[in-house]
Amino acid sequence: MIVASLVQQHAAAQVVRGQVPLFEPDPLWSQALPNKWVTGQVGGLAVDSHDNLWVFHRPATIPDGEKAASLIPPQAECCMPAPAVLEFDTNGRFLQAWGGAGQGYEWPASEHGIYIDYQDNVWLSGNAKEDNQILKFTNKGKFLMQIGHAGKNRGSNDTENLGGPAGLFVYRKTNELYVADGYFNHRIIVFDAGTGAYKRHWGAYGKKPDDSLKFPPRAQLVQGPPPEGFNNPVHAVLVTNDDLVYVADRSNNRLQVFRLDGTFIKEVFISKNTLQNEGTVHAFAASPDKEQKFLYIVDGSNKAIRVLNRQTLEMVSAVGGHAGHNAREFFHIHSFATDSKGNLFLGEVNNGQRYYRYAFKGMGPAPAITPAR
């Protein structure tokens, strides 16, 4: 009892109380796919301006036992890999699917990032070592543009190619594409979303990225000074309505905040004491109110969604914290999105292979939680 009391006091001291967003798992939201299709690891999720959900999955990761109908000869009646890009309406009904290799572009070896811009264009990226490109399509799957070339990465100061680009965001005010680059580079890079022309790039603290930096063992990360550079992967990027750029430095357990030009503003560590190599800041999204009062962060290693006051970056609530494959449990959350109604969408990789919704249930008192360390 004494231990429990101390934990509660610790939580009360460090978690800001007040009205926070509340969520409940919605296991009946998604519906069965047509054509006996099945999905693999979910590399990316995005919600478009119509509140439709887009899923970018990895067909090659589906085990033979789950795609037996596609084997030669077929081993069972069920099932077959779905195309890599799938669209669903607000009720979870399947709308369309497309994707894969085609003429005029280099499809990624490992499907990862997806973003739907304000003109309904679909941006895609991959995180394999040879995935040094970004693709742009119409929402019906017509190829429009490629930035970079597969297998051509020359490091974090290459202005033409990427290095396993992970996260994508098109900012409407400037029509610029922000890229979290990535699994092999250590930077944010910005392109003109209309022409694909290079605009600028920066590393941690707004400095020129340095690929020669060495990163300390996990234990030293916890105890020592903040790392000088972004670690791999630089996993997600978000631009908010007040012209701030949020960057997920996943393996360093932190996010950094910048102005649009790359000027560093501040940083915060999430579950800093986490030693697992996956890190903690996997993905994030902002609440849909005009002020975007809350910042939602996927803490992958700790199987939780951290809810932060976006202005102070103080944690005010959390969802989850338990590993598993059932409702209220997270396995390996990798991708994350919100819609205009405040619902959360999550996608899992590795043996997770699922996408699902947590429904927004309004505002209420913050639950009693143990804060991120």
User: In this structure, what token pair is assigned to residue 24?
Assistant: 């409940």
Q: Could you tell me where the DSSP H helices lie in 104-255?
A: 218-223
CATH of domain 2-365: 2.120.10.30
Mean pLDDT of all residues in 276-301: 95
One-letter identity of residue 71: L
> Please, which residues have CB within 8 angstroms of residue 28's CB and are 6 or more apart in sequence?
none
The domain ranges of the chain are 2-365
Sheet holding 122-126, edge to edge: 111-116, 122-126, 133-137, 143-148
Mean pLDDT of all residues in 352-361: 94
Phi, psi of 3 (to 5 degrees): -60, -45
How much is the pLDDT for 18?
78
Mean pLDDT of all residues in 182-202: 98
State pLDDT tens for residues 116-135: 999 999 999 999 999 999 99
How much is the pLDDT for 352?
87
Mean pLDDT of all residues in 230-243: 97
Comparing C-alpha atoms, which of 227, 38, 238, 56 is closest to residue 131?
56
How much is the pLDDT for 369?
58
Mean pLDDT of all residues in 195-202: 99
How much is the pLDDT for 367?
77
**Residues 193 and 156: beta-carbon distance below 8 Å:** no
User: In this structure, what token pair is assigned to residue 156?
Assistant: 């974090």
How much is the pLDDT for 224?
76
pLDDT higher than threshold 70 for residue 11: no
State pLDDT tens for residues 90-117: 999 999 999 999 999 999 999 999 999 9
State pLDDT tens for residues 291-317: 999 999 999 999 999 999 999 999 999
The percent of residues above 90 in pLDDT, for the chain, comes to: 83
pLDDT higher than threshold 70 for residue 10: no
**Residues 49 and 120: beta-carbon distance below 8 Å:** yes
pTM of the model: 0.93
The percent of residues above 70 in pLDDT, for the chain, comes to: 94
| 347 — pLDDT class (breaks 50, 70, 90) | very high
Mean pLDDT of all residues in 24-52: 96
- Mean pLDDT, rounded, of the chain: 92
How much is the pLDDT for 184?
98
State pLDDT tens for residues 44-72: 999 999 999 999 999 999 999 999 999 99
Phi, psi of 176 (to 5 degrees): -115, 145
How much is the pLDDT for 368?
67
How much is the pLDDT for 142?
98
CA dist., res. 31 & res. 91, Å (int): 9
How much is the pLDDT for 215?
83
Q: Which residue has the higher pLDDT, 10 or 56?
A: 56
How much is the pLDDT for 17?
56
Using a 10 angstrom Cβ sphere, with 0-12 exposed, 13-18 middle and 19 or more buried, the burial of residue 93 is exposed
